[in-house]
Structure formats: C-alpha cells, structure tokens
Chains A and B, each alone.
Chain A
Amino acid sequence: MDNFLSVRDLRVHFPTPDGVVKATDGLSYDLARGKTLGIVGESGSGKSVSSSAILGLHRGTNAQVSGEILLDGTNLLTITDEEMRQRRGKEVAMIFQDPLSAMHPYYTVGNQIAEAYRVHHDVNKKAARTRVVEMLELVGIPQPDRRVDDYPHQFSGGMRQRAMIAMALINDPSLVIADEPTTALDVTVQAQILDLLQKLQREFNTGIIIITHDLGVVAEMADDVLVMYAGKAVEYGPTKELLTHPEMPYTWGLLSSVPDLTADVDEKLVPIPGTPPSLLSPPKGCAFHPRCRYKDQVAGDLCVTQQPDLTPGSRGPGHLKRCHLTDPTVPNEEEVARS
C-alpha cells in the first residue's frame, strides 16, 4: 500500500508554568490514499493536538514539536511557514466539531468557502462563486445558488457541517482531518454527514483522519483505528480486528463501558475505574496502570515500573498494542460476564 501520510514519533509538548504537558508523546501511524484512520480516546488524550500538528497550527505558539510528518515525502515539520501555508486547505484540509463557531458570523457561507478556493486558485470572484455553488450542490445543500449568500446562523447544524465539508473539499485535498465532525449533531443528521463523507471520499479518493470518542462512528467509517491514551497510541490496527478482538485492557475497557443496541440489558456495564491521568505527570510505567484491572497478571511490578513498548499484536500485520500482558486473549470481564 502506498502511504502518502506517515507520522513518525510525533511529539507535541506544551511548556507551562506547572511543567511540560506532553499532549502527544511519540505517535506513529500511516495512511493510504482513499483510506480512513479513526483516532479514538478520552477527552484530553491528545487527539486534536496531534492532528492539528499536521496542519502546522502549532506554529507561532509555544508548542514544542518533534518527529516527522511525511506528506508525499515532504516533512511538514521542517518546511517554512509559507510552504506550510500553501499546503493548508490545498493538500490538507480540516473539518471541525462545532460548525457554528468554526465559521465567521459576519461573512456569508459562500464568501468563506470562496475564500478557501481563491487562496489557492487564481480566479476571479465570479468563477469562485460558481465553483462554490457547485460544491454546495455536491454536499447536498438545497437551492445552492440561493443559499450561498446566507450567513452561517441561517443554516441548520447539519447544513453548516455540509458547508464545512464543501469548504474542506473545494481544493480537492489529499488528506482531510475531521475532528469530531458529528459530535454536535443529531443521530439522523450524523448519519447523513457520515454517508456524505464516505461518498465524497470515494469520489475524490481522499485520505481521512476521523477523530472521535464514539466507537460506533469509528466502526462505521474507519479502515484502521488508533486508540490513544495519555498522548500515546496504546493500540493500533485494522478496525474490524481491533474492535472485535482488542488485545489490551484500555481498549477492552472502552468497549465494555458503552452499552450497545444488541447487548443483554441485564448485564451491568463494566466501567473503567478512576479518571484519566494528568498529562503533566503521567503515571510511571504503563500510563494506564492506576486504572488497569489486569496488572496483577503481569509478572512482577512491570506495569508500574516499566513503560510497555508498542509491539505487534496477534491480529495480523499492522496490529500493534502497548501492554505487558503475555496472553493477550485474557478473557476480559465483558466476555466473562456474557459467556
């Protein structure tokens, strides 16, 4: 597979008066054209930070970024600000969570989308407008030639997110990062938006990184999943394999703590105890150990003293997990409870 995006050992650290916040700490993944990577994890696990680093949005802030982000062979971390700017919106585009606040309230939707087009294309206003109307039509806005002059607040939530998608795709980027694109929307609208994204992905052969905390969305959208915990990848692999046969306790926990539409309702949910760690001083050893029910099954106090590496899992090539457990098929409580 030709990976046009390779992230290698990405670190994004924020120096603060209380210490260094290691928001992303040694993250690596690959993405092929036309494929989708889902990044899941709890709030504050570093999902957004790691992805906005691809767009270089940390530039000009106090963030310390290291590692490599290779897009078609170019390391996005070493190019100049101007080179980065020229790639933003053209090669890499972003869709944000709350489409109302992500659009400027004082400019029309059409104006804002046209702006995205005209930064990268030397065309006049009229040509840009025609292109915008085309894009709005493509994302399913009714009467696009009229709605193009509406302001964001005149659109419904779903329409705004469609407009954001139009804005992101207008320059036919090779990579689209969607940061919680449907979290603010209703399920029926979410379904529309996810379907739209998939349809357009097929049409434009776009690579998508979808950030979400909803495992259901990942299950439907992603080819690969990356599970993040405390700024690190703890499990990474093909979606189907990873969601049916996860091999580390945090992923087990995520799966067993959400009810689903078919589970036996008499079963209690199995929550992950405790709360996510502080990124200022993450726990020594495995960052998950204070909340892990399985650390006793690891010899010695390895979990507390030594950080596990990301090692190949048993679900085929490309499956990686970060855990000391020797027998990754330890029946998790969910399975015990349901058998």
Chain B
Amino acid sequence: MTMTDAAPTGPSTATDGSAPLLDVRDLQMYFPVKSSGLIRRTVGHVQAVDGISFQIESGGSLGLVGESGCGKSTTGRLVTRLYKPTDGSIHFEGRDIAGLGPRQLKPLRRDIQMIFQDPYGSLNPRHTVGRIIGTPLEIHDVVPKKQVLPRVQELLEIVGLNPEHYNRYPHEFSGGQRQRIGIARALTLQPKLLVADEPVSALDVSIQAQVINLLQDIQREFNIGFLFVAHDLAVVRHFCPEIAVMYLGKIVEIGERDAIYQHANHPYTQALLSAAPDVKQAAIGGRRERIQLQGDVPSPINPPSGCRFRTRCSYAQDICAAVEPPLLQIGRRHKVACHFAGEIGHHPAEPVTAPLLGVDRHGDRVPGTDPTPGLGTDSGYSDTWYDFPGRRMVRDESA
C-alpha cells in the first residue's frame, strides 16, 4: 500500500447517510483594507475566514471556539448570509446559498436565524417586546394578523417570560430576560438553523445557566440545528456534541466532544484547553500543567506562511513554515490540521503529513511524488481515515 493511495479522500457523507442541514465548503471571507493615500486603493485583505469546511446535521449542534479575532463571528454572519462570502459554498438543505441576492434570501431568512451577544444592542429600544417578536410574523405572512399576538405570547411563554409583558419595552427587562427576548424573536419563524453568537457571554454567571438550559430545551423540542459561537470552552463543551477550533481564519481541529476535549491532537487546541481555568480541577488538585503560548495572535492581514500557528507553536519545524497542513481525518469523527499531530506527549518526531503532501521533512517537494489532490477540503467525515500512530488506513467498523 502506498501512502498516497491511502489518502482519506472518500466521499463525504453524514454518518447516517442523509444530506446534512448545512454543508459549508472552503468558505472564505476577505475584508479589503484600504490605503490612506490619495486614492483609497485596496492594499491588502483581512483574511477573516480562509477556507473552512464543516457540516451541521439537522438538530445537531456545532460549537465554534477560538481566540478573539479568529473569525468566529464572521463565520456565523456568513452562514446567516449577513455577509456575502468571498469564495466557497454554503449548502443549506442541499441548495447553495452563498451567491444568492437579497430577494432570493428572503425566504431563507425564515429558516436561518441569529442570536446576538449583546442582548440590548440588538433590540430596538423604541419597540415593545410584542412588536419586536411579532414583526417577523407579519413580514413573512406566517399567521393571520389576528393570531400574531397569541403567537407572540406563546413564544414569550416558551422562553420563560411572562406572556402578559408583551407591551413592555426592552429596557424594562434584565440582561438575561433581554437575551430571552432575542431568543424568542429568533424562534418566531420556526427556523431550522440557529446561529448563536456568544449568546451568554454578556450575562452574569447565575443567568448564563438559565439561558443555556433554555437553548437546550428549544433545540430538543424543535429539532433546530445550532452553530454555537463562543469563546468559553466549558460552555461549548456542555452545549455541543461537536466542536471546531479556529485559529486565524482556519479550522485547526474539529471533532466530537471527546475527540477535542480528551484527545486533542493540535498543539493550539491543547494550549487553549490548558489555559482555561477550571474550578473543579484547580480547587481539588491544584493546577494542571499549563502550556504557555508565547506572544499574541498575528495579524490576519499578513498571516504567517504555512501553518498559521507556527509563530507560537513549540513543535514548529521547517515544514510548518513551508507547507500548510491540511485538515485530515484522524478518527471516526475527528480531523486535525497539523504536520505533527498527536496527543500531548505523543507528537511525532517526523511530519506525518509529508508523504501525503509529496514533500520531505523540510517541506521541500520530493521529485516524482505528487500531493494528494483535494486533501482536507471535505466538509464531512469519511468512514475510512488514516491512523497516524499506526501509520495505516482504518475503516469504521460500525459503519
């Protein structure tokens, strides 16, 4: 068996074989940076999101974590099509919505809704709660006019607010209650996909749990797919069975909860996890060993060549600067983008990706070998993958 033959390029399918609710491929968002000269030329681009792929199944929920500025919110806004992507596709229920115009998007707005971080800033202070929640019903002619109010009250009840309070204004509610209003508004049109951008970050600890529980109940009851953006690793772990870790516009590791939290293979994921303060662990057994990252996140305008994490990575070698590591599947539902992927203490000495990429350990092209085509652009999971420690292809027995 040659390595290249064994490349994990199988067709992407959700495990149950049905098409996913959302299928994002190679999504890209570049914001132009203008010069300050006489003529405002575009002098560069903020590579806010640079070629990310993932899937969300109907009723599933994907968590997006990463440091500030890594492109989480931008991804959320692309999926809700508040932004038009620079490149890539967003298949929603099998249809590519990446290039749709405003008119074609209108029906879609019913199906994909967004919850924002700032519960106050996103509610019009001059409208009553009833109007805020009821307007989408009217715009989309969902229910006859007479039934708008009863529906609004029903929604208020669902999110745990007093249905009699439909006549009040946002400022009359507390932060947690406002976030509930935002959730009620997002639910009005019975969406199939909810993008929640830091839905609890602005809330007090004691209130966060209320909102998280509410979102969970809603997801179960209405079978809504979630893209859950947050920087709190514990919250994401609690909410999402699947998590994607982003760094500088790229997904560096994606996988099931256990794969990420118990068997992280990417040095960045490992550092992120070790940095998160944890009450239980700290209180019982003192601190865990912490992986200190040096320096700050580089600018997304001029990201480092090759692996974007290499400027802060303690495992970085020549190849990391020369070749970008592809996002490769290494477990049943686990992908990682690192030349030296491995669990803490088990990072290999040689770049495991080199043979697949047709390069040597310094990242120089090896004559006669070609990089495996389409490596790491899949949005889903294949039922065969390459097992790095064992250096062999593995097939999912359960499939």
Check A261/B275 contact, CB under 8 A, given A186-B68, A239-B283: no
* B210 x A271 contact (CB < 8 A): yes
* B284 x A244 contact (CB < 8 A): yes
CA distance A1 to B207 in the complex (A): 38
Which residues on A sit within 8 Å (CB–CB) of B292?
191-192, 195
Residues 181-207 of A contacting B (Cβ, < 8 Å): 186-192, 194-195
The interface-forming segment of A52-60, A249-257, A293-301, A315-323 is A249-257
- B120 → A minimal CB distance (Å): 14
Check A262/B238 contact, CB under 8 A, given A187-B231, A213-B204, A268-B213: no
* B209 x A243 contact (CB < 8 A): no
Out of A188, A243, A275, name the residue touching B207 (CB < 8 Å): A275
| A18 is an interface residue with CB less than 8 A from chain B | no
Check A260/B234 contact, CB under 8 A, given A216-B277, A216-B278, A217-B277: yes
7 A-B pairs with C-beta separation under 8 A: A186-B231, A191-B277, A214-B277, A219-B277, A219-B278, A261-B273, A261-B281
* A269 x B207 contact (CB < 8 A): no
Which residues on B sit within 8 Å (CB–CB) of A194?
277
CA distance A215 to B281 in the complex (A): 11
| B237 is an interface residue with CB less than 8 A from chain A | yes
Tell me how many residues of B have a C-beta within 8 Å of chain A: 43
Which residues on B sit within 8 Å (CB–CB) of A190?
275, 277
**For the side of the interface on A, what is the size category?**
35 or more
| B205 is an interface residue with CB less than 8 A from chain A | yes
Out of B210, B271, B279, name the residue touching A216 (CB < 8 Å): B279
CA distance A25 to B279 in the complex (A): 28
Instruction: With CB as the reference atom, state the residue of chain B lying closest to A194.
Output: B277
Out of A239, A254, A261, A265, name the residue touching B205 (CB < 8 Å): A254
| B399 is an interface residue with CB less than 8 A from chain A | no
Instruction: With CB as the reference atom, state the residue of chain B lying closest to A219.
Output: B282
Query: Chain A: interface secondary structure?
Result: helix
Check A159/B296 contact, CB under 8 A, given A213-B204, A214-B277, A219-B283: yes
CA distance A257 to B279 in the complex (A): 12
Check A254/B273 contact, CB under 8 A, given A195-B290, A265-B257: no
Out of A42, A188, A270, name the residue touching B275 (CB < 8 Å): A188
* B290 x A265 contact (CB < 8 A): no
* B296 x A189 contact (CB < 8 A): yes
- A46 → B minimal CB distance (Å): 14
Query: Chain B: interface secondary structure?
Result: helix
| B174 is an interface residue with CB less than 8 A from chain A | yes
CA distance A213 to B281 in the complex (A): 17
* A261 x B209 contact (CB < 8 A): no
* A243 x B275 contact (CB < 8 A): no
- Residue picked from B205, B207, B237, B284, most chain A C-beta under 10 Å: B205
* B213 x A243 contact (CB < 8 A): no
- Residues of A that sit less than 8 Å from B by CB: 42-43, 156-159, 186-192, 194-195, 213-220, 239-240, 243-244, 253-263, 265, 268-273, 275-276
Check A269/B212 contact, CB under 8 A, given A186-B68, A188-B272: yes
Which residues on A sit within 8 Å (CB–CB) of B233?
187, 261
* A191 x B275 contact (CB < 8 A): yes
* B238 x A263 contact (CB < 8 A): yes
Which residues on B sit within 8 Å (CB–CB) of A256?
209
Residues 241-267 of B contacting A (Cβ, < 8 Å): 257, 261
CA distance A269 to B200 in the complex (A): 14
| B18 is an interface residue with CB less than 8 A from chain A | no
* B204 x A42 contact (CB < 8 A): yes
| B82 is an interface residue with CB less than 8 A from chain A | no
Check A271/B209 contact, CB under 8 A, given A186-B67, A187-B276, A265-B257: yes
CA distance A263 to B279 in the complex (A): 11
Which residues on B sit within 8 Å (CB–CB) of A192?
292-293
Which residues on A sit within 8 Å (CB–CB) of B174?
275
Residues 30-48 of B contacting A (Cβ, < 8 Å): none
CA distance A84 to B42 in the complex (A): 54
6 further contact pairs, Cβ within 8 A, besides A192-B292, A263-B280: A188-B67, A191-B275, A219-B277, A261-B273, A268-B213, A273-B210
* A262 x B280 contact (CB < 8 A): yes
Instruction: With CB as the reference atom, state the residue of chain A lying closest to B261.
Output: A261
Check A258/B209 contact, CB under 8 A, given A195-B292, A275-B174: yes
Check A275/B216 contact, CB under 8 A, given A187-B276, A195-B290, A257-B208: no
* B210 x A261 contact (CB < 8 A): no
Residues 347-361 of B contacting A (Cβ, < 8 Å): none
